[in-house]
Structure 1
Amino acid sequence: MTGRRRFSFPRPFRTATALALCTAVAGASLAGCGVLPGGSTGVREPVTVMTFAPEGTRATNMPGMPAMAQAYAKYVNAKGGVDGHELRVLTCNEHNTTSGAAACARRAVAEGAVAVVGSYSQNGRAFMAPLEGAGIPYIGGYGVSEEEFTSYLSYPVNGGQAALLAGNGRQLADSCRRVSLVRPDTIAGDNLPVLLNTGLSQGDGRPSTDVKAAEDATEYLEEAARARDEAGDEKGCVTAVLGERTANFFDSFRRLPEEDGEGVRISSVLSSVGQPLIDRTGGAGGPFEGAYMTGWYPDAGDSRWGVMRQVIKDHAFGDDRIDPADAGVQTTWIAYTVLKKVIEALDRATITPGAVSHALDTGVSVDTGGLTPALRWRFEDMLGVPGFPRIVNPHVTFQVVRNGRLVAARPGFVDVARTMSQVPIV
C-alpha cells in the first residue's frame, strides 16, 4: 500500500463508521482503510468549477470553450477524477454583456465553485468583483480584459491580446514598410495601436495607421479601402484584430478592386483568425493564403496537441462546437491542465478556493507538455509591466498560412517581454 488511496466518487460517510470498519479487519492499517494523514477519511469531495463564454451574440462567440470544459470533465472522471475528486463543470453564457458576466460570476459563487477556469469575457470588472468578494480564483482567461492581468486572483496562461499585438508588431517589423491596423472602436481597442507600434519599433517598421471599426458590423468596405490605401502597394501590410468580425473585414477587403494595392499583405492574430476560418474561406485559394499570424501556442498541427485531440475524439461525441484548432478551445485545455496540477499538488479531501489560490501563489509549477513554457505565478515570475503586471507567459509564436494551413513561420516561442516592457503608459 502507498498510504494514498483514490476512490471513484463514493458517497460521503462518517469518520467514526470508517474507523470502526477498519478496526474490524485484522491487521488493517489506517492508510489501507483510506484514512489520510491528519486523520481524515479517504472520501474525496467533488470539485466544482465554472467555465463561461459568450454564445449566440452578434459579436465574438466562444462556444467551444465551455464545450471543451465539459469534454475535459468526462475525460478525467472516466479515469477516476482528479486525484480522486469528481470534477463538476458548470457552464454559463455571459452574452458579451456586463450583466451577463456578473451573473455568471455570481452563479459560480452561489454554486460553490472553487475556481473559474478557461473562460472568455471582455467584461473583466463585472466578473472579477464577485469572484474577488468570494475569494474565487480565475484561471486561464482568454486575455481580453484588463482585470485578467491586474487582479490578485487572476492566473493567466498566456499574454493575452497585449502579447499578441506586441508580437504581431515584431513579426511584421522587418517585412512591412507601412502597416494599417484595423481594430474595434472600443475602450479595449484603444490599447491595441500602442502595443502594435511598440513591436514595430523593434525593426524597420513605422508606426501603424489606426483604422477604427465597429465591433459588430457585417461589412467593412470603407475601412478596408482606407487600410489598404494607407498601407500602400509595396511592402505594405494590413493587420486586422476584430475578433469574430475579422472574417467580415477580410471579406470586404477581398472585394476591393484588384487593380489597387496588389502588393499589400494581410495579417492578424490567432484570437481573431484561425484554421477553421481559413478553411471556410477557401483554404489555399482563399484570402488568407500567405498571411502572417501571431499566436500564443504551437500551430494546430503540432504533435503536442495530440492528447487534447484524442480527448475531443473520445469524449466530445461529435460536438461541432469544439474545434481543436481554435485558440479558445486550446486556452481552455491549458487552463484545465493547470487546475489538475493544482488539485494533485494539494492532495486533500476537500478543495477550497483559498487552497487553490494559495497553491498558485506559492509556486505550483505546471508543465503543459510544451504547449507553453512552464507556468508559475509567484510574484517573481510575473512580468510586472504597467497595465499587465500578472503576465507570466510573455511568449508568442509566429505562424504563416501556406497551402491553406497555418504552420510555424519560425520554430519555437518568441519572448516579447522586453517589447512589452517598452510599451508607453497611456
Structure 2
Amino acid sequence: MTGWRRFSLLRPVTGRAIRVLCSAVAGATLVTGCGILPGAAGGGGDPVTVMTWAPIGTNATNMAGMPAMAKAYARWVNASGGINGHELRVLTCNERNDGGAAADCARRAAKENAVAVVGSYSQHGREFMAPLEAASIPFLGGYGITEEEFNSFLSYPVNGGQATLMAGNGRQLSRDCDGTALVRPDTISGDDLPDLIGSGLAKGRRAPAADLRAAEDATDYTRVAERARERAGDGGCVTAVLGERTETFFDSYRRLPEDARDIRISSVLGSVGQSLINRTGGKDGPFEGAYLTGWYPVASDPAWQPMRKVIDTYAFGDDAIDPADPGVQTTWIAYTALRAVIESIDDDEITAGKLVNALDHGVSVDTGGLTPRLRWRYEDMLGVPGFPRIVNADVTFQVVREGRLVAQRRGFVNVSGTLG
C-alpha cells in the first residue's frame, strides 16, 4: 500500500446532494418492486439501475453476502442523495450455480434496463456474458472465477481472479514446500488451476503440484485427503481450493490417522477465511500456521473501515454479510468503482454505453488502498494469454497465527511476471 493515498469513502454530502435529498423527502413516493431495492435519493438525475447476482442456497459455493452488500451500499449512497443526484437502484438475482439461471439473470438485467452488472459471482461465464454482450451491458467487478471475465470486451475486473490467486499461492508455497498437492474441483473452472499454481511454484524452482480432482459437492473427502498427504510428502504442502467444501475437505484431512510427516496446509481466501478458522477451533484448530493467498489486505486493515461502517449502519444486522469475506469485499470495491465512473459522467442520464465509454477511455478509481489505482484502458491491461483484461495482478500473502489471519509480509505481491 506504500505510495497510494488513502481517503475516506464516506464523503460529506455535497450541496447538490442536500438539495436532491430535501426534494426527495418533500415529494418522493418510494415503491418497492420484486427484487428491487428502493432508495431515498431522487431529483437531480434519472435513477441508475444495476444488478448484482450470486448463488444462494445451493449445494456448492454460495455467495449471499454479495447481493446483501450491494443492497447496503445502495441504502448508504441513497441516504446521502445518491450518486451525483442519481438514485441507485439495485436488482438482485440468484444464479443458483446453474448456467441456465445465470443466463436468465443476465437477460433479466437487460429487460429491466440495468446499465451494469456489478460485484457479482458466477462460475458460468459463457452463459451470462453472451446475453450481456448482446445487450451491451458492462460487467464491472466480477468475483473473477471465469475466463470470460478476463477476455470479454465488456468485462472490467477489479482483481486478478482465480488466475492471480493460484499463481500467487504457488509463489507463496514455493519458499517452504518441498512438494505440493493441489486439491481442486473437478469442473471446467477448476481445470485451469494446476497450470496456474504451477507457474508460481516454478518461480521458486519447485516441481509442479500433484493435481487431485474432487467433487465440488461431496460430503466426505477422506480418500482424496489420503492421496493429497501422500503426494505432498514430508516437508510438503497440501493446498485445497474447493469453495465452501474446503471446510469439508480439511475436516476429512484432520481425521486421518496421525503420522510423522511434517506437512503444512494452505488455501486461498474465499475457500478459507477468518469465520471458518474461528468455527474450527481458532489457534487450536487445523488451520493454525496455514498459508493463505488473497487479493486484498487482511480484514483487520484500517482501509476496510469505511466498508465496515456502512455494514454496521445500513445492513440492518444481515448475517449474510461477513466483512472478511472476499466476495463481500469484491462487491464493495466494484460499487466503489461504479460510483467513480458515474461521478465522471456529467449527464442527467446514465446509460450502459456512457459507462462503457468512461471505462474504456481512462476513468481512474482510487479504492483507498484496497487495490492499486484501477483503470481499464487498453494500455492498462496485462494482456496475458487467457486473461488479457487483468488490470490488477496484485495479491497478498497471509498466514494464520494464534488463530488470526495476519499478513505474512507487508503490502502486495505483483504476480504479473508469473502469469506472463
TM-score (structure 2 length as normaliser):
0.91
Indicate if the aligned counterparts of 1:368 and 1:374 stay in contact, CA closer than 8 A. Answer: yes
Indicate if the aligned counterparts of 1:7 and 1:44 stay in contact, CA closer than 8 A. Answer: no
Matched residue type, 1:109: A
1:327-342 aligned within 5 A: 327-342=326-341
Within the alignment, does 1:222 sit opposite 2:223 as a pair? yes
Indicate if the aligned counterparts of 2:44 and 2:84 stay in contact, CA closer than 8 A. Answer: no
1:379-418 aligned within 5 A: 379-418=378-417
Structure 1 distance, partners of 2:90, 2:15, is 29
Indicate if the aligned counterparts of 2:268 and 2:294 stay in contact, CA closer than 8 A. Answer: yes
Indicate if the aligned counterparts of 1:55 and 1:93 stay in contact, CA closer than 8 A. Answer: yes
3-state DSSP class of the match of 2:21?
coil
Indicate if the aligned counterparts of 1:183 and 1:242 stay in contact, CA closer than 8 A. Answer: yes
Indicate if the aligned counterparts of 2:72 and 2:315 stay in contact, CA closer than 8 A. Answer: yes
How far residue 384 of structure 1 moved from its aligned partner, in angstroms, is: 0.2
How far residue 8 of structure 1 moved from its aligned partner, in angstroms, is: 2.9
Task: Provide Cα deviations, 1:367-387, integer angstroms capped at 9, x if missing partner.
Answer: 000000000000000000000
Residue 257 of structure 1 corresponds to which residue in structure 2? 257
Indicate if the aligned counterparts of 1:9 and 1:84 stay in contact, CA closer than 8 A. Answer: no
Indicate if the aligned counterparts of 1:9 and 1:85 stay in contact, CA closer than 8 A. Answer: no
Indicate if the aligned counterparts of 1:177 and 1:204 stay in contact, CA closer than 8 A. Answer: no
Structure 2 distance, partners of 1:280, 1:383, is 38
How far residue 174 of structure 1 moved from its aligned partner, in angstroms, is: 1.2
Matched residue type, 1:416: V
Task: Provide Cα deviations, 1:306-354, integer angstroms capped at 9, x if missing partner.
Answer: 0000000000111000000000000000000000000101021010000
Residue 123 of structure 1 corresponds to which residue in structure 2? 124
Task: Provide Cα deviations, 1:254-308, integer angstroms capped at 9, x if missing partner.
Answer: 00001253x1000000021111111111111111110000000000010100000
Which ranges in structure 1 are unaligned for 5 or more consecutive residues?
12-41, 422-426
How far residue 4 of structure 1 moved from its aligned partner, in angstroms, is: 6.4
Structure 2 distance, partners of 1:81, 1:169, is 43
1:24-43 aligned within 5 A: 43=44
Residue 27 of structure 1 corresponds to which residue in structure 2? none
Within the alignment, does 1:108 sit opposite 2:109 as a pair? yes
Within the alignment, does 1:89 sit opposite 2:90 as a pair? yes
Task: Provide Cα deviations, 1:40-93, integer angstroms capped at 9, x if missing partner.
Answer: xx7311100000000000000000000000000001011111111110000000
1:271-310 aligned within 5 A: 271-310=270-309
Structure 1 distance, partners of 2:349, 2:279, is 46
How far residue 125 of structure 1 moved from its aligned partner, in angstroms, is: 0.9
Residue 188 of structure 2 corresponds to which residue in structure 1? 187
How far residue 188 of structure 1 moved from its aligned partner, in angstroms, is: 1.3
Indicate if the aligned counterparts of 2:362 and 2:375 stay in contact, CA closer than 8 A. Answer: yes
Indicate if the aligned counterparts of 2:16 and 2:85 stay in contact, CA closer than 8 A. Answer: no
3-state DSSP class of the match of 2:389?
coil
3-state DSSP class of the match of 1:306?
helix
CA RMSD, Structure 1 to Structure 2 (Å): 1.4
Residue 424 of structure 1 corresponds to which residue in structure 2? none
Task: Provide Cα deviations, 1:2-46, integer angstroms capped at 9, x if missing partner.
Answer: 9967623958xxxxxxxxxxxxxxxxxxxxxxxxxxxxxx73111
How far residue 187 of structure 1 moved from its aligned partner, in angstroms, is: 1.5
Within the alignment, does 1:203 sit opposite 2:216 as a pair? no
Matched residue type, 1:227: A
Within the alignment, does 1:8 sit opposite 2:21 as a pair? yes
3-state DSSP class of the match of 1:346?
coil
How far residue 152 of structure 1 moved from its aligned partner, in angstroms, is: 0.4
Matched residue type, 2:253: F
Structure 2 distance, partners of 1:145, 1:202, is 24
Indicate if the aligned counterparts of 1:7 and 1:43 stay in contact, CA closer than 8 A. Answer: yes
3-state DSSP class of the match of 1:82?
coil
1:69-84 aligned within 5 A: 69-84=70-85
3-state DSSP class of the match of 1:399?
strand
3-state DSSP class of the match of 1:200?
helix
Residue 67 of structure 1 corresponds to which residue in structure 2? 68
Indicate if the aligned counterparts of 1:8 and 1:86 stay in contact, CA closer than 8 A. Answer: no
Residue 268 of structure 2 corresponds to which residue in structure 1? 269
Residue 25 of structure 1 corresponds to which residue in structure 2? none
Structure 1 distance, partners of 2:300, 2:294, is 13
Residue 157 of structure 1 corresponds to which residue in structure 2? 158
Within the alignment, does 1:248 sit opposite 2:261 as a pair? no
Structure 2 distance, partners of 1:281, 1:82, is 42
3-state DSSP class of the match of 1:201?
helix
Judging changes above 3 Å, is the alpha-carbon distance between structure 1 residues 258 and 158 closer, same or farther for their aligned structure 2 residues?
same
Structure 2 distance, partners of 1:214, 1:170, is 26
Within the alignment, does 1:358 sit opposite 2:357 as a pair? yes
Indicate if the aligned counterparts of 2:99 and 2:124 stay in contact, CA closer than 8 A. Answer: yes
Judging changes above 3 Å, is the alpha-carbon distance between structure 1 residues 183 and 138 closer, same or farther for their aligned structure 2 residues?
same
Structure 2 distance, partners of 1:210, 1:264, is 17
Structure 1 distance, partners of 2:355, 2:287, is 42
Judging changes above 3 Å, is the alpha-carbon distance between structure 1 residues 128 and 109 closer, same or farther for their aligned structure 2 residues?
same
Could you tell me the percent identity over the aligned residues?
A: 69
Structure 2 distance, partners of 1:183, 1:4, is 51
3-state DSSP class of the match of 2:238?
strand
Matched residue type, 1:293: L
